[in-house]
Amino acid sequence: MAVGSGIMLRIERLALRLLTALDAIVNRLYSARLNPLYQSGTIVVVLYLTIVTTGLWLIVFYRVAAPWESVAGLTANLWIGNWVRGLHRYASDAAVVATLVHAFRMFAQGRSWGARALAWVSGGLLAVLLFLCGWTGYVLVWDTFGERLAIEGARMFDALPFLSEPLARAFTGERPVPGVFFFVTLFAHIGIPLGMGVVFWLHIKRLERPLLLPPRALAWASVACLTAIAIAAPLAMAPRANPFVLPDQIPSDVFFAFWMPLTARVSGGTALTILTAGLIALLVVPVFTKRRADRKPLPSVVDEDICTGCVQCSRDCPYGAIQMIERAGRRSMLVARVDPDLCVSCGICAGSCAPMGVGPPGRTGRDQLAQIQAFVGSPERRRGEIVAVCCEHGAAAYRSSLAAEGAATWTTDCAGNLHTSVIELLLRGGAGGVLVLSCHPRDCWNREGPKWLNERVYHEREAELQARVDRARVRIATVAAGESGDAVAALRAFSAHVSALALPMRDRSAEIDAECERTPVGGRA
Amino acid sequence: MTIAPRIVGILLAIATAVGLARASIVPFSPHGEQAVLRLAWTARPERIEDCRQQSDEELQKLPAHMRQSVACVGTTATYRLEVRWNDEVILQQTVRGGGLRHDRPLYLFRDIPLSPGEGTVGVQFDRVESVSASPHRDRSSDEREEARHSTAIDDVRRRRELEERTRGREEAIPSSLSLERRVRMISHRVVLVTYDADLRTFRMVEDGPR
């Protein structure tokens, strides 16, 4: 079932508009490099490490036989207990927020279906595990909030048909809550994060070179901010759980108990059904965001007559979708083979292939050159004008603003998809300069587009921009979809720079490398 | 980057952190001003059985570990619960044993909100089935039958069987239980009515083990 063209696409577009506006604001406040919205996934990893570290410390003081008393003793100690517990709690809360931001980002950018569905589903499971971890953590304290969570959990569990003796029985006041309950809860609280490690492996399984941590400054700033608030606003203990007292107010954590006001008024079975339905709705998002066959971008294909077996496309693919396999009796020992189930049609392989033998249909290097030849041959082209190459997911949003500044604009699916021969051909076609407006490196929809483009233009990564091309006439700027002002400023600066150069000569013939640099199989560039 | 956005960024980070801390202790009021009468107990329901003595021939056909001198078929009893507050019926409920065949212990857990104040709580718990499907059996009748038999079961097993049947009968909740007590219901407090398996009676607890 693919209903990506319907309501879901409209919601996606709406979400993207909101995200674009937020990104632009946050970029202005923190710079693109330290934009926490770009780094939401990696921030969760930092917070996870913080939670584990502080949790290891807290567990030293926790006693199963006296849960509330041991936590109260710890909380009373401002030096070694209170702020660590505060950091543990606030990092957990922040992890929920960062997880939601990350999921929202992936959804808005249409990165939830196809080959990315595994990451979406495993991400959903990670969110559930995080949620359960917080739940068990609060129960361990055994204050009024912990008791309430335990009762709500027991009510839901008891709605299931497989428990012969209801769990809620433990909290009625008939007898003291057994110590084994806290032992099992503690076991779950420690075991769940270990399980998260396995699911996390699944989450990033289809990514090559996954970035696990944010820039160091952002990581430390996040932890420092949470530590500061843990010190500035010391945690207070809620009253001890007592089954014979119904507290007037329970201090509840909205990040982990947002559902409680809703489910408190319904039966355990209904509450469980609501939460399960929410989880299922989250997990089936890829089914509804999946593009219809006629709108689905096609996976890359390999022209085996052109492929030289250089392995560059395999190295550059951010999703590990290209394997090199052996072949006999042809022009090379190896040939690239694309796994269509893993390919997200980012087109980065098209930019990586010097002889232009791989890429999504209609977007290979050769296709790009054919389109560019038509572009430079157009009577509208002026000698010496600036051509702004815009990423479809970023600068393409304000092509008209760039055109108003006198630039000719050309759109590419991703900066990483852009073949360097296109840049060369644009300059040979009489362009005064080529300004590539790529997305910010941590905001690339295809993960590594700006990185590879930069490497190919300035660091001779295969398929590199040829040495004969005047680098003074080429510039790469990173801008987000909501940063038209920055893009226009970059264009003006580049125009001023290019205007100081002599007018270029026109030579519209395209030169294509038939071979690329051979590198040993399995080696890294 | 100019200084103004940087300051705004720092202030926003601080505000986010403060908001995070505040949101982690939002007061939630799940209970009104009322008091609660809590009914919570677990007990084994009575067995309503048709029992008969197995003959030596029948026992010989069974594997040694499955031989029982008395074979019973039947079901578990159903109970009617009625709760009154100042002579007004506030709850009526039929209670059965747990599990699909209702042969597990019965479990009851109900919170009944009541207005604070003094009053009389009445709890009545009666077996619905008025007539047992099998003639009433007690330990002496069991022992008389055991004495008649049997060569197929050794003495140790026979005694264990007898003890198990006796224990099963003694562990079952009585066919009728009642409690009537004057009590002061206090706002935000719970009064618990539970079944004491040792005394085989209802018990009211106004504060209990933590």
How far from the centroid of its chain's Cα atoms is residue A185's Cα? Answer: 32
Predicted local distance difference test score (pLDDT) of residue A513: 53
Peptide bond into A321 cis (omega under 30): no
Residue B142 has a pLDDT of 58
SS3 B162: helix
Enumerate helices (H) and strands (E) in chain A, giving the number of each: 19, 9
Residue range B24-52: mean pLDDT, rounded: 90
Q: Are B98 and B105 in contact (CB under 8 A)?
A: yes
| Chain B residues close to A168, C-beta within 8 Å | 109
Query: A159 at the B interface (CB within 8 A)?
Result: no
Residues of B in contact with A176 (CB under 8 A): 209-210
What is the pLDDT at residue A167? 86
- The pLDDT value recorded for residue B199 is 92
Residue with tokens 């198990």: B164
Amino acid at A454: N
A24, amino acid identity: A
Cβ-contact A238, B26 below 8 angstroms: no
pLDDT in tens, A367-377: 999 999 999 99
Write out pLDDT tens, residues A227-246.
999 999 899 999 999 999 99
Q: In chain B, what residues touch A28 (CB-CB under 8 Å)? A: 5
Q: Which helix or strand (DSSP H or E) is residue A197 part of?
A: helix A179-203
pTM: 0.87
A92, A100, A101, A244: best to mutate for the B interface, most B CBs within 10 A: A244
Inspect the interface and report whether the beta carbons of B31 and A261 lie closer than 8 Å. Answer: no
Label residue A285 by pLDDT band (50, 70, 90): very high
What length is written for chain A?
525
Q: Which residues of A touch B41 (CB under 8 A)?
A: 174
ipTM of the assembly?
0.86
- Quick one: which H or E segment has residue B89? strand B88-95
What is the token pair recorded at A445? 């929809």
Q: Does A5 touch chain B (CB under 8 A)?
A: no
Q: How far apart are CA A292 and CA A55, in angstroms?
A: 46
Q: Computed over its alpha carbons, how large is the radius of gyration of chain B?
A: 28
Is the CB of A226 less than 8 angstroms away from the CB of B17? yes
Site from B38, B102, B109 to mutate, A interface, most A CB atoms within 10 angstroms: B109
Considering CB atoms only, which of A172, A173, A248 is closest to B188? A248
DSSP states of A415-461? GGG--HHHHHHHHHTT-SEEEEEEPPGGG-TTSSHHHHHHHHHHS--
Residue with tokens 């808005």: A108
* A29/B208 Cβ within 8 A: no
- Cβ distance of B23 and A250 shorter than 8 Å: no
Instruction: Determine, for residues B205 and A148 on separate chains, whether the beta-carbon distance falls below 8 Å.
Output: no
pLDDT digits (tens, 9 = 90+) for A409-453: 999 999 999 999 999 999 999 999 999 999 999 999 999 999 999
> Given B14, B190, B207, which is nearest A246 (Cβ)?
B190
Under a CB-based contact definition with an 8 Å cutoff, are residues B80 and B177 in contact? no
A18 touches chain B (CB under 8 A): no
- C-beta of residue A412 within 8 angstroms of C-beta of residue A461: no
Of A28, A90, A174, which is closest to B24 when you measure between CB atoms?
A: A90
Check CB contact of A49 with chain B, cutoff 8 Å.
no
Whether pLDDT at A119 is above 90: yes
The minimum CA-CA distance between B66 and chain A, rounded to whole Å, is 25
Task: Give the minimum alpha-carbon distance from A187 to chain B in angstroms, rounded to a whole number.
Answer: 22
Distance from C-alpha of A369 to C-alpha of A387, rounded to nearest angstrom: 15
Angstrom distance (rounded) from CA B22 to CA A138: 16
Sequence letter at residue A513:
D
Instruction: Enumerate the residues of chain A whose CB falls inside 8 A of the CB of residue B42.
Output: 165, 169, 174
Does residue A120 belong to the interface with chain B, where contact is any CB pair within 8 Å?
no
Q: Which two tokens stand for residue A256?
A: 């982990």
- Rounded Cα gap, residues B188 and A483, in angstroms: 56
Across A358-367, B53-62, B201-210, least confident range: B201-210
CA–CA separation, A446 vs A106, rounded Å? 11
Query: Quick one: which of A24, A164, A347, A391 has its CA closest to B44?
Result: A164
Cα(first)–Cα(last) distance of chain B, in Å? Answer: 58
A21-38 average pLDDT score: 96
A244 with B192: Cβ contact below 8 A: yes
A29 neighbourhood in chain B, CB within 8 Å: 5-6, 8-9, 12
Closest residue of B to A155, CA-based? Answer: B109
CA nearest A360: which of A345, A370, A341? A345
| 3-class DSSP string for A263-287 | HCCCCHHHHHHHHHHHHHHHHCHHH
Alpha carbons B133 and A315: distance in angstroms, whole number: 80
Residue in A437, A391, A417, A419 with CA at minimum distance from that of residue A510: A419
| Tokens linked to B8 | 């705004």
pLDDT digits (tens, 9 = 90+) for A84-97: 999 999 999 999 99
Q: How many Å lie between the alpha carbon of A94 and the closest alpha carbon of chain B?
A: 7
Residue carrying structure tokens 């505000």: B15
pLDDT of residue A403: 96
Task: For residue A66, give the chain B residue with the closest CA.
Answer: B210
Please indicate whether, in this complex, the C-beta atoms of B6 and A148 are within 8 angstroms of each other. Answer: no
Angstroms from B40 CA to nearest CA on chain A: 7
A47-56, A107-116, A316-325, B144-153: range with lowest mean pLDDT: B144-153
CA separation for the pair A258, B16 (Å, rounded): 18
**Percent above pLDDT 90 for chain B:** 50
Find residue B125's DSSP bridge partners: B81, B177
Q: In which band, very low, low, confident or very high, does the pLDDT at B139 lie, cut at 50, 70 and 90? A: low
- Residues B156 and B165 sit within 8 Å (Cβ to Cβ): no
User: pLDDT band at B209, cuts 50/70/90?
Assistant: very low
The residue of chain B nearest to residue A237, with distances taken between CA atoms, is B25
Average pLDDT over every residue of B186-203? 94
The whole-number pLDDT of residue B143 equals 58
CA distance B100 to chain A (A): 9
CB contact under 8 A, A29 and B6: yes
Q: What is the mean pLDDT of chain A?
A: 92
Which residues in chain B have Cβ-Cβ distances shorter than 8 Å to A90? 17, 20-21, 24
| pLDDT given for residue B49 in this prediction | 83
Structure confidence by residue, pLDDT tens digits, A95-104: 999 999 999 9
Tokens of A206: 């289809």
Residue of B nearest to A94 (CA): B20
The 10s digit of each residue's pLDDT in A492-507 is 999 999 999 887 776 6
Q: What is the pLDDT of residue A275?
A: 92
- Return the pLDDT at B131: 58
Q: Does residue A520 register a pLDDT over 50?
A: no
Instruction: Count the Cβ atoms, other than its own, within 10 Å of residue A61.
Output: 15
Q: Which residue has the higher pLDDT, A149 or B148?
A: A149
CA distance B184 to chain A (A): 14
The position carrying tokens 């609280």 is: A189
Task: Provide, as residue numbers in chain A, all residues whose Cβ is less than 8 Å from the Cβ of B6.
Answer: 29
Who has greater pLDDT, A71 or A516? A71
**pLDDT band at residue B140, thresholds of 50, 70 and 90?**
low
The better pLDDT of the pair B152, A153 is held by A153
